[in-house]
Every structure is written in C-alpha cells, then in structure tokens.
Amino acid sequence: MGILPVEIDEGRLSSVGFVAGGILRPRRRRGSFCGPLVCPSGLGRVKRAPWMAGPESPPEPVRWVPPSREEMEGESKVTTVERVDSEKSFDTVLQELTAIQQDGPRNVAILGTRHTSYLHQQIVELLSFANVLVGNHVFTSGAGGTNAAVIRGAIRAEKPDLLTVVLPQSLWKQPPDARDHLERVQQLIEMKENDDLPLDVASRLCNSDILSRCTHFIAFAFHDSEVLLEAVREAKALNMIVTLLYLD
C-alpha cells in the first residue's frame, strides 16, 4: 500500500498526516487534537466531524465514509470480464464433450495453433481422447501445440484405426520433436506434392483436405490465426458443424 499525504485545515486547526497500512496518523501540532483517523484499505474518504469547526469544540472521532458501489465495481470490472470469458470457453468444451455421446460415430477434425499453454493442451488431449473412446474418427495435422495434443489423446485411447494425421508436406520436413509422436501414428498421410510450396500455402491445402473428410470441426485459435480462421470459414461454407474456441 502506498503512502498518501492528507492535509486538514479548518480555522486554526491544521495538521498534515500520512496514510500507511490503512491508518491515517495526523502530525501533532501545538494545541491541536491528534488521534488516529481510520481509513480501511485506502478505500472511501474521510469526512470532517462537526467539532472541527472550532478549537474549543469537544473532540469527536472522525467518521469514515464507505466507498460507493460504483467505486467498488470499477476496480473489479476487468477481472470480471476475463472470468466470464474464461467460463464461456470452458462451457463450450463441456458442451462439446456432452455432444460426443449424443450422436453416432462421426468424423471430427481437430486443428489449432501451435502456441498453446500446458492447460489448453491438456483440454485438447482430453477432447481427442473422449472422441476416439466413443468411436469417433479424429483427423488432425502435424506440428506441435494443439495438433500434437490431439495425437497424444487419440493414442491414449488405444484405437489407432480411429486417428488419421494429414501432413501438409513430407514427414522429413516436420520438426524433429514432432516426428517422434508422428511415427507412432498408423494412418499417416503425407502431402509430398506440397514440398516445394511455402508452409502457409501447404497448410491451407492440408486443412482443406482434412475438412473434406469430416462432418465436424473443432478449432483452437487466436484472433490473428489467419490460416485457422480461413479453415473455419471454409468449414461453415461446407455446412459443417463448427466449434471455434479462442485462446486470447
């Protein structure tokens, strides 16, 4: 908590004090009343009591006026919005997990950005695991982050025939750390014809190929994930059932 200088000047009574740790301690001046003025947590304001009108009035405690509701709500507005957005994202995941059991076997594409937190990767892994466990066929691509979590979750379900990974280019063009789990995938499709193309172009072609094989699409993206958001628009144009979760 910071140090707040406070000055009280009423007639011949004048003192300067400081608020430290929620306690307002006025500096003693000759002939002036000096007592603690309490201001809890630095909130609200100090209201002068009637005795301050003159030096001969009997001393009374200074009253502390609580902060208004608007002041209290203003400090927590940002936190509340972030919490609501987080709850909405989590509710979307729960709704998707519930929908898995309502329909028959289906082909589900799960794609996302490689820049994901450990918590988001756990959620993606659980989502992939649950889809494969109930008999849905999961399609994804290479790289790390979201797609790697999809592969790990599907492998955990121990139904290798229900996981298909489509690579935008040859396997040897994938990062070394990604090849380890890709080599464990039985149904691996390499789009070797895209080896001479830029990676973003090859990724767009790869996403289109994956969407053409599926009826449902789950995407984890940021608001500036252009390639993924383009895939979302394409999936909607194909009348697919799309679930988009923003990570920012």
Task: From first to last of the 248 residues of the chain, give the pLDDT tens digit.
Answer: 444 444 444 444 444 444 444 444 444 444 444 444 444 444 444 444 444 445 555 555 555 555 555 555 444 433 333 333 444 455 666 666 666 666 678 999 999 998 888 998 999 999 999 999 999 999 999 878 999 999 999 999 999 999 999 999 999 988 888 888 898 899 999 999 999 999 999 999 999 999 999 999 999 999 999 999 999 999 999 999 999 999 88
Domain ranges across the chain: 4-73, 77-246
> What's the token pair of residue 81?
């919005």
With b for 16 or more beta-carbon neighbours within 10 A and e for fewer, the 103-126 pattern comes to eeebbbbbbbbeebeeebbebbbe
Tell me the C-alpha distance between 100 and 91, whole Å: 14
In this prediction, residue 234 carries a pLDDT of 96
β-pair partners for 166:
189
> What's the token pair of residue 120?
């988001």
In this prediction, residue 142 carries a pLDDT of 87
- Residue 216 Cα distances to 124, 132, 137, 152, 230, angstroms: 15, 14, 10, 20, 16
Tell me the C-alpha distance between 165 and 113, whole Å: 16
Q: Which regions of 174-215 does DSSP assign to beta strands (E)?
A: 187-190
**What kind of fold does domain 77-246 have according to CATH?**
Rossmann fold (3.40.50)
In this prediction, residue 176 carries a pLDDT of 82
In this prediction, residue 174 carries a pLDDT of 86
β-pair partners for 18:
5, 25
In this prediction, residue 53 carries a pLDDT of 47
- Tell whether pTM > 0.75: no
